[in-house]
Amino acid sequence: CTTVSEGIIGDTLSKFSIWGLYITFVLAVGRFIRLQCSDLRMRIPFENLPSCDRLIAICEDIYAARAEGELGIEEVLQT
């Protein structure tokens, strides 16, 4: 006869099979990785660009040129 050790690990192993523990561990790791990678595109401007003030200023200038009908200035700003 084999006996299972007592304690938290022993109780857990006696209630769940090793496959259940493995699947739970894999799902927990997968969820952790997914949480770390979710909304990554929303964090890029704040984490990877040192300062995006110049980029925002160019976009606002293009918008202003388009609103005033200055298509030549808009074209220069886009290139």
13 pLDDT higher than 70: no
User: Is 8 a residue whose pLDDT tops 80?
Assistant: no
The pTM assigned to this predicted structure is: 0.37
Predicted confidence at residue 3, as pLDDT, reads: 58
Distance, CA of 57 to chain centre:
27
Whether the per-residue pLDDT at 51 is higher than 60: the answer is yes
Torsion, Cα 65 70 75 77, to 10 degrees, reads -40
Q: What mean pLDDT is reported for the chain?
A: 78
What is the per-residue burial (b if ≥16 Cβ within 10 Å, else e) of 17-54? eeeeeeeeeeeeeeeeeeeeeeeeeeeeeeeeeeeeee
